[in-house]
Structure 1
């Protein structure tokens, strides 16, 4: 994935099918758009503006010197009746780029809604609000064609939408409690979801009609498998890149490998506990999770390995082919919230932790190559072009690190609350991140 150039209005939207243009009706919601307002990196923003019109108490506002965003979606604004202090805006929990259209992103929000967003759409409204959930939307994912969007929420529902029109195509019933993640098969319209009720569900989503026509498309979801065996909530999982296996990770401390055709559990990885450290797993302990709970997962590009991160600061790399643990990574002192194999198969893996560190490991020796310190917990790590690793942090900033030197060569600001999610665009031209402050922001990755 080559690093993109300027991703302004003229550059975005060229990577996808022309069919994927979002239908924007005249009454579509108009959201904040910073077109033409990208701030000079040397200009400080007015702190009063950063407080979202008084919605956030000054004490809760993070230190923010400027706003580097090329576009901003105010997804969840503060609310309150006249004469009363407004309630804080709801968080934006999940963001994801469309894999076929780098001008389109989706957001899952704490106000029970999904936003379909074209950040640089300059003629009229640039977002559609999708309503159908009855509780917080935890995760969103586009299918491989970029034409379908799935969302999962704390209401236990999984909804499938048209990414072209924003129309709700079908609701997939099954999970009895909150849905923790949704993930499409890499090559087909098969959808996987993991739930707090200890199960995973897999549906085949059949679509009929004209996908590009408003109201002309229908979908039906048929349950193909229910994977049972975990003894606590399923936190993360997905299909291997070749689509042949399903792997799930759980609060019960195990990762299970499933045959998607038969529903059989082919192997269970029960990783060795990390030696006790003072302060390890503090965040999880507050939530009642045990230190061996698994909270993050990633696959190698060739589908032969899986890596899992734990609440106690441990991480593990296992062979799916040999069904054995290859090595343990024990550098972190708090929950490993995000793990990532290098996407092109180079022998590097990255882990990000609530202890404020990004560690890049040599996958051949299981030794740390570089450790990159942050002023707050690291929520997500994602590889970009070459040796660059991106992180989003509880201090409200997105950073790019050189995995060879451990140096931070770029930093983007604009949020006034901790970050919750991040995704690098498929064309490598931009990054979208979301925050507790009720906004999502897009930053250009072009050279400053």
Structure 2
């Protein structure tokens, strides 16, 4: 990624495509092939197994998670508050279930046997992230603590205290943990640094430098660039190697719910509660495409060159990431889509 370290203003792109998805009337409508009524209340999180399309998981407000094999669900209990995240390890061996009760349970992803229960945080878990290669999990709690566990050890390998963070993830190579703050800050830790959990972050972009409000979406490119989105309607790009801000862009007046780099091209997407989906070119920072989805977007992800978005009033749609054209609309509910996953 060849970006200048500082970029004051995003220039207008004369070739930008603007699409109003409501104007398209020839798209394919897709209806559910099956419906599973397992939970007694709202489902907060879902995930496909990274290898087997017959295995998936869900977690809900009813304090229960389910592991499904060929649509047959096994109840995973042990939590006393809502399940905020279910996530399979990248190797496919483990399933992590995170709860607002401050605990995380680890399960065998094939047979649903309980492997471990991690305790320590005194408040709810805000986010979890698996290492891209190792059976290691990082978890962020609302009590200002960030935990790293190795599944084959009974105690955490690192705990970082005292940072008011809202979201934290492993970097694409697994060496770094990057995070967004409730104060609008961006922070990065190097796990290869001895005693990193007791040392200051290797990169800190203070709140107000980019974001005036909480960071709620963040992604890292393997070239050392971080894109972040905030409740203030702004996105920021940071080069954590040089510890410099590349740019800050005011996108809208609503919160930026999703930012994500495309793995196929040097693009990234930005999705907001305003109902707007944008695709940016990384090098020029030009807006490649702007799509008016029409409903507030809760989540947007790349799947190859395709983009899937979910949001308010049952919004669940598939777009061509190259052209911005809507490909399919998934029907089945008028309720807000809290989470979704796509299996390639």
Query: What TM-score, normalized to structure 1?
Result: 0.66
Quote the residue 1:365 is aligned against: 284
Task: Quote how far apart the aligned CAs of 1:339 are.
Answer: 0.7
Task: Quote how far apart the aligned CAs of 1:205 are.
Answer: 1.3
8 Å contact kept, 1:75–1:109: no
Distance of 1:155 and 1:420 partners within structure 2: 20
8 Å contact kept, 2:257–2:297: yes
8 Å contact kept, 2:224–2:240: yes
Quote the residue 2:60 is aligned against: 109
Q: Which runs of 5+ in 1 are unaligned?
A: 1-65, 78-89, 207-219, 275-289, 429-448
Superimposed CA distance per residue, residues 173-219 of structure 1 (whole angstroms, 9 cap, x where no aligned partner): 1111100111111111111000111111011211xxxxxxxxxxxxx
Superimposed CA distance per residue, residues 59-96 of structure 1 (whole angstroms, 9 cap, x where no aligned partner): xxxxxxx871122222323xxxxxxxxxxxx2111111
**Which ranges of 4 or more aligned residues in structure 1 deviate by more than 4 Å?**
271-274
Among 74, 78, 96, the alignment partner of 2:37 is 74
Quote the residue 2:313 is aligned against: 395
Quote the residue 2:266 is aligned against: 347
Is 2:140 aligned against 1:222? no
Is 2:333 aligned against 1:424? no
Give the 3-state SS of the residue equivalent to 1:129 in structure 2: strand
Distance of 2:55 and 2:166 partners within structure 1: 27
Quote the residue 1:198 is aligned against: 144
Superimposed CA distance per residue, residues 259-294 of structure 1 (whole angstroms, 9 cap, x where no aligned partner): 2242232111225467xxxxxxxxxxxxxxx95110
Distance of 1:160 and 1:112 partners within structure 2: 15
Quote the residue 1:267 is aligned against: 203
Distance of 2:301 and 2:274 partners within structure 1: 17
Among 405, 411, 432, the alignment partner of 2:329 is 411
Superimposed CA distance per residue, residues 295-330 of structure 1 (whole angstroms, 9 cap, x where no aligned partner): 011122x25222111001111111222222212232
Distance of 2:125 and 2:341 partners within structure 1: 20
Task: Quote how far apart the aligned CAs of 1:160 are.
Answer: 0.7
Quote the residue 1:298 is aligned against: 219
Larger Rg: 1
Task: Quote how far apart the aligned CAs of 1:235 are.
Answer: 2.1
Superimposed CA distance per residue, residues 374-420 of structure 1 (whole angstroms, 9 cap, x where no aligned partner): 2321011111222x211112120211112333221211010231101
Query: What TM-score, normalized to structure 2?
Result: 0.85
Quote the residue 1:127 is aligned against: 73
Distance of 1:303 and 1:242 partners within structure 2: 10
Quote the residue 1:283 is aligned against: none
8 Å contact kept, 1:75–1:92: no
8 Å contact kept, 1:93–1:138: yes
- 1:128-147 equivalences under 5 Å are 128-147=74-93
Distance of 2:322 and 2:253 partners within structure 1: 23
Superimposed CA distance per residue, residues 4-50 of structure 1 (whole angstroms, 9 cap, x where no aligned partner): xxxxxxxxxxxxxxxxxxxxxxxxxxxxxxxxxxxxxxxxxxxxxxx
Distance of 1:324 and 1:411 partners within structure 2: 40
- 1:153-168 equivalences under 5 Å are 153-168=99-114
